[in-house]
Amino acid sequence: MGAITIRGLDDAIVSAIKRRAGDQGVSMEEEVRRLLQATYADDRQARGREWAKRQLERLRRGELPKADISSVEEIRRMRQERTDELERRSRKTTRT
């Protein structure tokens, strides 16, 4: 986790943060953490939505690669490989 130090804040801002933290029953640090999370989490979600829209447009234009196999088939194949590997290891350890 990152940490920041903010110098030179106006006393009125610090007082407002203290008051709001007290109203919420949390520390000033937690109050600032919540404010930053609320502010920048929305930004991250907005950027994610924009990325998804761009990808959908690329898909509609046929610019994204098409898979040769369905995702369901691929997951089943990978699970079977994992099961086979675990069984192989199990047989190997029982022989020794």
Could you tell me where the DSSP H helices lie in the chain?
Answer: 11-24, 28-60, 71-95
Whole-angstrom distance, CA of residue 89 vs CA of residue 20:
58
How is the chain split into domains, by residue range?
Answer: 7-65, 66-96
Say what the pTM is: 0.46
Whole-angstrom distance, CA of residue 75 vs CA of residue 93:
27
Whole-angstrom distance, CA of residue 57 vs CA of residue 63:
9
pLDDT tens digits, one per residue of 58-86? 999 989 888 888 899 999 999 999 999 99
3-class DSSP assignment, residue 7: coil
Q: What is the mean pLDDT of residues 39-48?
A: 84
Q: Of residues 81 and 41, which shows the higher confidence score?
A: 81
pLDDT of residue 13: 94
pLDDT of residue 54: 94
